[in-house]
Amino acid sequence: MGRSVVTTLAAAGHEVIGVDSAPGTPRAAAATLPADLTDLGEAHSVLTRFRPDAVVHLAAIAVPFGRTDATTFRVNTQLAFNMCAASVALEVPKLVVASSPTVMGYGAPGGWVPDYLPLDEEHPTRPWNVYSLSKLVAEQTMGSYARSGTGTRMAAFRPCFVVAPEEWEGAPTQSGHTLRERLDEPAIGSVSLFNYLDARDAGAFVDALLTGLPRLERNGEVFFAGAGDALAREPLAELLPRFLPETKEPAEVLTGTAAAFSAAKAERLLGWTAQRSWRTELA
């Protein structure tokens, strides 16, 4: 997602500064700087050097169970706190924080029953692993600063399963499977409720959010960002109960190609909708 966000923002005319602890920042960035943003002093130093008009905070341990629980929680929560604290202290006008749909709690070993479908931003969060907990803490950290009366306009967003452009051509996704395998073997995608988002649409969402932040009535909004359809060949009303029997009743409203996550709030407040579907993008 980071690569596509940088590329999209640069193409839209923004001067993008890439800050990362690892190499590989896209060439579209106007400048790059390696920095450890888990260090509050370094976070302040980076923002002091560049004095940005906006911060888009994507840095994180990006998947559950990839590192120890202690490391995942420490890194992800410290990153969110540092970027919020430094942005507010240095009066950065805009801040966007990446969260995750996993805060909803699907996939819990003890079972998961949604209050309703499709899931929207008003649905209760029920994280059950440390990764999703760390993302919820990041959201709440952002929300806490937004309520503090700061002049920094901020929001968090929950991007669905991000698909990079090369993955439409057959490269493995972050789960290790190809997209065609996820479609052919629905059990793979059922873990994440068949959600997805083209990385270029993620970039367009961030651009729309940066544009729309000043006019949002409430500071600290949270948005889902996902494709308008499900990454599945069958309707979710039939598919979800097959793998998650407890969703049978809530899933009945998901007719046709409807997704399990609603991006209606982003369309209503930001004028954004995903432009790409697996039906048109898959090679």
DSSP state of 261: B
- Cα dihedral 203→278→60→185 (10° resolution): 180
What distance lies between CA 107 and its chain's CA centroid?
A: 18
User: Could you tell me the CATH superfamily of domain 2-164+196-228+261-274?
Assistant: NAD(P)-binding Rossmann-like Domain (3.40.50.720)
* CA–CA separation, 105 and 83 (whole Å): 25
Looking at residue 86, what is its pLDDT? 98
Contacts of residue 104, defined as CB under 8 A and 6 or more positions apart, other chains included, come to 114, 119, 123, 125, 126
pLDDT at 174: 87
CB neighbourhood size of 148 (10 A): 12
pLDDT value for 224: 98
Q: Residue 134: what pLDDT?
A: 98
Structure tokens given for 137: 């803490």
The angle subtended at Cα 33 by Cα 42 and Cα 202, nearest 5°, is 100
Phi, psi (rounded to 5 degrees) for 54: -155, 150
Specify the pLDDT at position 24: 65
pLDDT of residue 143: 98
Q: By the 8 A CB rule, do 100 and 136 touch?
A: no
Q: At CA 236, angle to CA 134 and CA 223, rounded to 5?
A: 35
Q: What is the pTM of this model?
A: 0.96
Helices (H), the chain: 2-11, 40-50, 69-89, 130-146, 165-168, 179-184, 186-190, 199-212, 236-243, 248-251, 264-270, 278-281
Which portions of the chain are predicted below pLDDT 70?
23-25
Instruction: Specify whether the CB–CB gap between 18 and 26 falls below 8 A.
Output: yes
